[in-house]
Chains A and B, each alone.
Chain A
Amino acid sequence: MCLAIPSKVIEVRAGMASVECFGARREVSLLLLGEDVALGDYVLVQAGGYAYARLDQARALDALALIAEVNAQLDAVD
């Protein structure tokens, strides 16, 4: 189903950020966000590579734990 993985901000520069989730790094645009982001923040990224929401850490970590559980479930089936 429709998982969007919260990505952790590891670098910020003008209008762009490097984010990481489950070891994968990518570059995203911050121009849709109506707020500043800081290192360590978690964001959701839409399909075109634009961050559109900042998540509080508790919610992001909850989501990541759930997604890791789904991943473990898939690995068990494989």
Chain B
Amino acid sequence: MSIEGKLVLEVEWNGKRVTGTCIRSTRPAHASMILEGRLAREARALVPRLYSVCGKAQAAAASLACDFAAGAESPAAAWRECRVIGECAQEYLWRLLLDLPPLLGEAGQLQELAGLHRRTGHLNADIAEEQYLRTRHGAQLNDWLRLADEVERFVAGCMLGMPADEWARCSLDEWLIEGATGTARTIARLISEPMCASEVAPLPWLAAEELKAGIAPALAAGDEFMRTPTWCGRPAETGAWARQRAHPRLCGFSHRGIAARVLARLIELVNIPARLRALVAGEAYSPWVRGAQVAPGVGIAAAETARGTLVHCVALDGARIARWRSVAPTEWNFHPAGAFVRGLAGTEAHSEAGVRRAATLLAHALDPCVGFDVVVHHA
């Protein structure tokens, strides 16, 4: 068994369609509990070392939850926000250019991505928040502007085939049909795949009040919420599609399932340079990293990631962690009755290979932060 855990996606198929899906997870959803008993300043520094996947978002949510718990000032807000957004861009580029294209018979764009990494990897280099606050070393404002410029140029040249503002105005159907870029061809191919749309509602934007009144009590009520989270008593889907579902591009997009999830990622990636510039300019924005004090000594914070909303909730006993609970996006989307299970339900497939393909593509669209295996059972 891999230590980081894995999802085993067991799919029942009757020769014509999917009749049921069960998810077995060996992900250590309760891993955050090893932070309990430690000094808060030690624990918050350990979080990105423990949770390296989306480590900057993990660090941001953990630090902010600790700050709220302690009733302390949180001085690094803009820096945290830029790091989280930069990390999201990196994850989207990997998904869209490395991981997804080969599944659809498209060549990945490793060389182009490697070039971007060489030019920009140091701009969002890993540095502990405590070190940043002490030394102010690490990414400065100009670095984020440079990252914005690099990502914008890269996306326009390698993915859209045109400047972002031109893409925003063009006919999406024509862009897909023309297929001038690998990204366009990848999304176009997804449209011909099973839709795998589900009726699972998107997780709404969890602002401070929702975190405090909705998520914190659920985490306090029992540890199961970390593994099977719900919103208003029901599973919910989190990720780029949940955040962007009202975007005009998505509202008018007829393919509501897998392709829409991938298109949503592209939409967010295209908007990331503007978001970074707005942050640096000090413009008002709806922060991707936010939180609240639930009660004296208890803080909760959320950070948006490429995979969706990540939450940390911390209770202090003096300077030490009394209780640490977390919910990752994967647990929302791979809930036993969530977007993956409901999306695959009833999917038509006339071969085992077809079942496996649909399940694999839907899993990629919902993007768990661990590896997964698809197992097909003949019903």
Contact = CB atoms under 8 A, between A and B. Distances in A.
Contacts of B330: 2
B52 interface: yes
Interface in A21-35: 21-22, 24, 29, 31-34
Contacts, number: 98
Contacts of A44: 52
A69 B31 CA distance: 9
Nearest to B331: A1
A74 B28 contact: yes
A1 B49 CA distance: 12
A59 B48 CA distance: 10
Interface in B97-112: 98-99, 110-111
Interface residues of A, number: 31
Nearest to B26: A74
Given A1-B27, A1-B28, A1-B32, A31 B51 contact: no
A4 B52 contact: yes
A30 to B, nearest CB: 9
Interface string A1-39: 111111000000000000001101000010111100000
Interface string B1-25: 0111100000000000000000000
A22 B4 CA distance: 11
Contacts of B369: 1-2, 47
B149 interface: no
A5 B53 CA distance: 9
Contact of A73 (B33, B111, B121): B33
Interface string A46-57: 111010110000
16 contacts: A1-B51, A3-B3, A3-B53, A4-B53, A4-B55, A32-B110, A34-B118, A34-B121, A46-B98, A50-B110, A62-B46, A66-B46, A66-B49, A66-B50, A71-B28, A73-B33
Interface of A: 1-6, 21-22, 24, 29, 31-34, 44, 46-48, 50, 52-53, 59, 62-63, 66-67, 69-71, 73-74
List of 8 A-B pairs having minimum Cβ-Cβ separation, nearest first? A4-B52, A2-B53, A3-B4, A2-B369, A63-B49, A34-B121, A34-B118, A70-B31
